[in-house]
Structures are given as structure tokens and as C-alpha cells.
Copies of this chain bind each other. A is one copy, B any other.
Amino acid sequence: MYKQDLIEVHQRIEPYIHNTPVLSSKLINEIAGTSLVFKCENFQKMGAFKMRGATNAIIQLSEKKRKKGVVTHSSGNFAQALSLAAKSLGVKAYIVMPSSAPQVKKDAVKGYGGEIIICKPTLEAREATAKEIEQSKGATFLHPSNDMDVILGQGTAGKELLEDYPNLDYIFVPVGGGGLVAGTILAAKHFGNNCKVIGGEPFEVDDAYRSLISGKIESNKSTNTIADGLKTQLGDKNFPIIQEGIEKIVRVTEQEIKESMLLIWERLKIVCEASCAVALAALLKEKENYKNKKIGIIISGGNVDLSTLPFS
């Protein structure tokens, strides 16, 4: 299921995204005792894989719906992705952001042409404000990760990676809202050669890990992690895909995230978010299990505040 969908989604969004480069580092391979390739979605348009899902979700709308625009609530990469994807497709994007969102993120959304609607910094206010826009403007609400069109869009990163490296044994991805991991599971199933998907998750926000154990969607009481992109929880669309298809989730400490992030910056010479480093940290934590395997890692994004890096 979904093989043909992934092929069609990919064809559909190709004019609007980059087929991002794949990098590797001899030294990281030596440290890991295995052979690693990094799919660099930090080089994706607007700097993150979210551009894929956002583009697909908008293209899938009817002409009539497109005319009325799209709305989401996010202060992260999906807000920027939806703004840019909408602009590329000539669609209006309304972005509900909490008043607490940093100016730099507001500027980024504005820069990509999104219209910002500020609300109180609570989930309730965000949802209510988005609902209001849906009603007053007729805009279609798009969820950052719990939407099948978004999930299939995110899956095209793994599909591209497997087209270049068809014999990967494993793909490691960070687990946040579940869109990327669910999409990657579908890509690995249909385009891999017995390729398994492993999730990395910070101990501090290990809702997906706990969800797999309890069999229902768990949430986080606190979200004290440097991996900001991973604070969200799974949804009813992506959870069943993850339950069925994921090999396992490996949890990592904040220190392990920082060390892996430094390794990526120092050795791959790329700017990436802490969230991406979670996937490498998960591999390194259990590297004994992957000796001489072929591993892919998805570097999910590169939108970082360079004035507050965790390296000093």
C-alpha cells in the first residue's frame, strides 16, 4: 500500500523541491564502525524536509480550496514550509503563531510570504485561532505531521535516498510529530531492499517510545530538550504506520545529542538542527548492533539560531 502514491507524490512535488545531496565522513564511519550516508534535508528549500509534505498537501487541494488558502498553527519549520510552498503555488497561507514565538521565526514566515496571526501562547488558543481562520476565510487547515498527504510528502526524502543507495540495511530518523518517520517507513517498505527504519528520540520527550509500549498515543509532561523539533506528539494517522513498520525507537540523552551534533558540524561541515543529531546519537548509542551495515541517516533540517549554539 502507498507505493504508487509515493511515486505520484514525488513526481508532483519534484518541481518545487530539491533532490538534496548525500554526504558522508570517513571519520564518522570509523567512530560508528559502519558505513553511513547522510541525506541532507538541511539543504532542502527553506531548510527542512517539511517543504516536501507542505508542498504535497497544498497541491492535493482542489482548485476551489486552493483559492481560499491554507492555515496551520506552528512556530517551527512547518510554518515556514507552508508559507513558501503556498507562495510557490500561488496560494495564500495563514500562520497562527503564539505571541511568545521568537522574532526571527516570525520574520522567516513573513519572508516566505506567510500571513501571521498572533495568538496567546497556549495550545487551546492556537487551535481556536486556526479554527477561526478556517471559518472566516474558508482556508483549509493543514496539520504538520498527522495528515496522509504530508506523510507521503515527507516519505519522498527516504525514497530519494534509497534510489541513490538501494542497499541500505537501516535508515535512522528523528521522531517528533511522526510525519517523517511514518513517511520513511513507507518509503523503506516499498523502495528498500529489506531496509528497516529506526527512530531516535530524546529521553526528555520520549512520548513515541512510550506510545509503542502502551499501544496508545502518549504525550510529554515536560519538553526539556535542545531538540526543539521533537517536542510534538504522534497522531492517529501516523501512529498506526509507525506501530506496524518501525524496527524500534532508541532513546538518547541531551549530552549524546550535543556530542552527535558537534560531530556532524565538525566533520560533515554542515549546519543542522539538534533534532537531526538525535538520529546519529541513536545509532552511536547502539553501534555494536550495526557493525559493517549500510546505514542512512536523514538530516532533517538546518534552521538554527546561530547566536545560541550548545558548543561552548
Contact = CB atoms under 8 A, between A and B. Distances in A.
A269 B42 contact: yes
A2 interface: no
A266 B306 contact: yes
Nearest to A26: B45
Contacts of A262: 306
A27 to B, nearest CB: 8
Contacts of A40: 269
Contact of A306 (B42, B43, B309): B309
Q: How many copies does the complex hold?
A: 2
A21 B307 CA distance: 27
Given A269-B271, A271-B265, A308 B302 contact: no
A160 to B, nearest CB: 16
A307 B302 contact: no
B272 A269 contact: yes
Contact of A311 (B42, B266, B270, B306): B306
Interface string A273-312: 0000000000000000000000000000010001111011
A192 B309 CA distance: 40
A43 B312 CA distance: 23
A22 to B, nearest CB: 10
A79 to B, nearest CB: 17
7 contacts: A43-B269, A265-B271, A266-B271, A269-B271, A270-B270, A270-B271, A306-B309
